[in-house]
Chain A
C-alpha cells in the first residue's frame, strides 16, 4: 500500500516543482512591490545596480524597461509597452539621438530583478548597457529594453529535470513570438526612428532568445521589406519598424529558421545600401555569431534535435532541394539545416573572425580592414569568405572561444568589443544624416535605357541631389527624403550596373551591383 503512495507523492512532487509563470516587473502604478516596476534607472556605482524610476530620462545614466510575455506569448501587462515607449520618447527628445538596445534572454533565464534572486541576464544586460554608455557612446543617451519570457521552467534545485526542460522551453521559444511580441519589437523600432531618425536600434537575442527574436521578426521583416519596395508615395515605411542591426549570439535556432530569411535576401528583393562614412562594405542587417567554445549549440543542439529529427525523417517531412530552386541552396538536404545553426553551418557562413591580422586561406580581409583589439592586446581580423554562398546582409560567422568563451559568457567587455565592429562610431550615431542606410529597393530590377527607375530608402534629403548609373549622370524626375525617380541613361552596357546616389550635401549611397540589370 505504501509503495504506490510514495510513487504518487514523488510524481506529484516532481511535477509541481517549477518556476512560476508570473510577471516580475509590473508597469508603474501596478502591483504591491514598488521596488519592482518595469522602468528602472541604472546606478552602477552603488550597491543596488538599478532603482525604479518610472520617468527615467537617460541623461548621465542609462534607463531600462522590461517587457514581459507569458508562456503563451501574450503580453503579461499591457501597460509595460506604453511605459517603455514613453521612455523611448523621453530619450528621443534629447539633443542627441539615442542608442536603443533590445535584449531577449534564453533558456534558464527570466526577468527577475528581485535582489534576493536577481537573474544573471538582467545583471549582465545592465552591465552591457552601462558599458555602452560609459565607454562606447559617452555622449549619447543609452536605453535598454529587456524582453522577458518564461525561459526558466525548473528551479536549479532540480538539475536533471532542469536539463530535460530543454524540449519544453524550445517549444515555448517557438510559441512566444506571436503578434504581441512582434508588435512590441516593431513599435519600439518605429517609435525610436520616427521620433528621431538618428536613433540607432540594436536587437540582440541569445540562445533560445535568438530563436524567439528570429521568429518574431522574420515575418515582420518580410512584410516591411516588400512594402518598402512597393511603397510609391507615402512615408509610412521610410523610417519603419526595423532595427538597424539584429544580432543573434550563440543562437539555438535551427538553421532552417534563418535559411528562409537568407533566401529572401538572396533573391534580391531588398538591399542594404552602402553608407557614406568611408567604409565601403555593407553593414549587416542581421548578424549571427556563435562561439567555437559554445558546446551547447555546436554539440548539444544536434543531439537535442535528434528525436524531432528522427520523427521528421520517418514521416518524410524533410525534402531535398530541387536543382531549379532559386536561390540554389548550398546544401541540398533540408534535414542538414535542422541539426545545425546558421552560424555553425559552414555552408551558410559569410565571414570568419581570425586572430591576428592575416585572413585564413580562402578568405579575404574586408576593405577597409575591419579589425579590433581586445584588452588582452590580441587583435582579430574580420574576413570575407571567398566564393561564399551567403552574400546577403545576413552575416553569419563563428568566432574564436577567446572572444566568447562558452554559450553563456556573453556579457563581457570582449563581446562588446566584437559588437563594436558592427556598430556605428560615436559621431555617426550623433549625426542623423550620417547613420547607416536602412533597407533600400530598386524597381524595376531589370530595365532598358530611358526606363523610369525608382529608388526607395531613407534619408535621401528633401533637396534633390544627383544620380549616376555606371558613372553616367541620370535625369532625376522626382526626389524626396525616401524616394527618388530617375530615367535610365542610354548607352549603358548590358548587365549588372552600379547606381550611385549623391545627396545635396554630397553624401553618397552606393547601391549593390545586383540591384539593377540593364537589358539590351
Chain B
C-alpha cells in the first residue's frame, strides 16, 4: 500500500525535476556572438556529446553498423561474458539463489543465466531500436540539442557554456533515461519514450525465468529484476550527466606530477 502511494509521488517529483530540461532553460546567460559556425562551412557537425567546435564528425546518425557493434560488444562478446562472469561469481559467493549449489554446476547456472538475460536484452534493444531508428547514446544537459532549440538556432555557440543547475541536470538525467532521441544527421531527432530500454529490461527479466528456480519466477521477482535493469540504466544516465564533476573530484584526489626534488634552476633571461 505504501509503495502504491510512493510511486505516483515519485513520478510527480520526477516530472517536476525534469521540467526545465523539457522546456526552456531558466536563468541562463549565453554569449551572444554573431560568429558563423565553422563546422557548417567545413561540412562538419557537432553531435550531442561532441566537444564544442568539433571538426571530426560528418554525421550524427546512429548507423546500423554502430547498432550492431553496440549489440555485439554489450551482449555477445567478451564484455558480456566478463559481466556475466563477475556478477555470477558474486552471486556464487552469496549463494544466490540458495537453490543452486556452490559448485561448478551452480556457477555455470549463475553465469549462464546472466549471459542469457544480457543476450535477450541486447537482442530486444537491437530489434526495437531498429524499428524505432533511435539513437541510444546518452547525452548530458549541456549538449542536448533539443533544449532551447530556438535559442540555439539564433546562437549556434550555445552549448559551450550551458551549465544548468544541479536539479535541472538531475531532471535531465531522468529524462534522458526515460526517453530516447531519434537518429538524425544533425543529432537533433525528437525524443520519444525509451521503448527499447523498457522492452530490453522486460526481456531480460522474463528470460531469467527460463532458468531461475520457481520461487524466483513470480511476477514480483520478475519485476524486481526488471527494476534492477532499469535502475542500472538510470545510474548510467546519472553518470553520463555528472561524470565531469566526478572526474574533477578524482583529479583532486589523485593530483599527479612529481615536484622538483632539486633546487630550481633559474630561468634563462633573454
- Write the residues of chain A forming the contact surface with B, with a CB cutoff of 8 angstroms: 14, 44-46, 49, 116-117, 120-121, 123-124, 127-128, 130-131, 134-135, 156-161, 274, 280-282, 292-293, 295, 298-299, 302, 327-333, 336, 340, 344-347, 349, 374-377, 384-389, 391, 401, 404-406, 409, 411-414, 416, 498, 510, 512-514
Q: Are the C-beta atoms of B72 and A157 separated by less than 8 Å?
A: yes
Q: Which residues of A contact B42 (CB under 8 A)?
A: 44-45, 127, 130-131, 134
Q: Determine the distance from Cα of A414 to Cα of B160 in the docked complex, in whole angstroms.
A: 11
> Could you say which of B191-199, B234-242, B257-265 contacts chain A?
B257-265
Chain A residues near B58 (CB-CB < 8 A): 49, 123
What are the residues of chain B within 8 A of A416 when measuring CB–CB? 55
Would you give the 0/1 interface string for B242-270, flagging 1 where the beta carbon is closer than 8 Å to chain A?
00100100110010111111101111111
Once the chains are docked, how many angstroms separate the CA of A337 from the CA of B247?
Answer: 24
Tell me the bound Cα distance from A184 to B247 in angstroms. Answer: 39
Q: How large is the interface on B (under 10, 10 to 19, 20 to 34, 35 or more residues)?
A: 35 or more
- CB contacts (< 8 Å) of B72 on chain A: these are 157
Is the C-beta of B33 less than 8 angstroms from some C-beta in chain A?
Answer: yes
Interfacial chain A residues near B31, Cβ < 8 Å:
376-377
How many Å lie between the Cα of A414 and that of B56 in the bound state?
A: 13
Are A332 and B261 CB-contacts (below 8 A) given A124-B56, A293-B247? yes
A295 with B51, Cβ < 8 A, contacts A377-B33, A384-B267 known: no
> Is the CB–CB distance between A49 and B43 below 8 Å?
yes
- With a cutoff of 8 Å between Cβ atoms, the chain B residues found around residue A45 in the complex are 41-43
Decide yes or no: A117 and B267 within 8 Å by CB, A157-B72, A375-B53 being known contacts: no
User: B160 contacts A376, CB within 8 Å?
Assistant: yes
The distance from the CB of A259 to the nearest CB of chain B, in whole angstroms, is: 12
Complex alpha-carbon distance, A293 and B269, angstroms: 33
With both beta carbons as reference points, the residue of chain A lying nearest to B269 in the complex is identified as A513
**Which one of B18-26, B76-84, B88-96, B111-119 is at the interface?**
B76-84
A389 pairs with B55, CB closer than 8 A: no
Contact residues in A for B157 (Cβ distance below 8 Å): 375-376
The chain B residue with its CB closest to the CB of A405 is B51
Chain B residues close to A by CB (< 8 Å): 31, 33, 35, 38-39, 41-44, 50-58, 65, 69, 72-73, 76-79, 82, 157, 160-161, 244, 247, 250-251, 254, 256-262, 264-270
Verify B79–A159 contact, CB threshold 8 A. Answer: yes
Residues of A near B82 (CB, < 8 A) are: 160
Contact B267 A159 (CB under 8 A): no
Task: Please give 19 more A-B residue pairs, beta carbons under 8 A apart, in addition to A328-B262, A414-B53.
Answer: A46-B43, A159-B73, A160-B82, A274-B270, A282-B270, A298-B254, A329-B262, A330-B260, A330-B262, A340-B256, A345-B257, A374-B53, A376-B161, A389-B265, A391-B267, A401-B244, A411-B56, A414-B51, A414-B52
- CA–CA, A512 to B268, complex, Å? 8
The answer to whether A345 and B52 have CB atoms under 8 Å apart is: no
- Contact in complex: B53, A412 (CB < 8 Å): yes
Chain B residues, Cβ within 8 Å of A510: 270
A413 to B156, CA, bound (A): 14
Residues in A whose Cβ lies below 8 Å from that of B33: 375, 377
> A-B pairs with the 8 shortest C-beta distances?
A413-B53, A127-B55, A124-B56, A346-B257, A411-B56, A387-B264, A376-B160, A409-B51
Q: State whether A299 touches B250 (Cβ < 8 A).
A: yes
Q: Could you tell me if B56 and A299 are in contact, using CB atoms closer than 8 angstroms?
A: no
CB nearest to A510 among chain B residues: B270
Residues of B within 8 A of A280 (CB): 270
Q: Hey, which chain B residues are within 8 Å of A14, CB to CB?
A: 78
Q: Which of B73, B244, B256 contacts A156 (CB 8 A)?
A: B73
A329–B269 alpha-carbon span in the complex (Å) = 20
- Asked whether, in the complex, the Cβ of B55 is within 8 Å of the Cβ of A391, the reply is no
- B247 touching A295 by the CB < 8 A rule? yes
Taking a contact as CB atoms closer than 8 A, the residue among B35, B55, B257, B258 that contacts A375 in the complex is B35
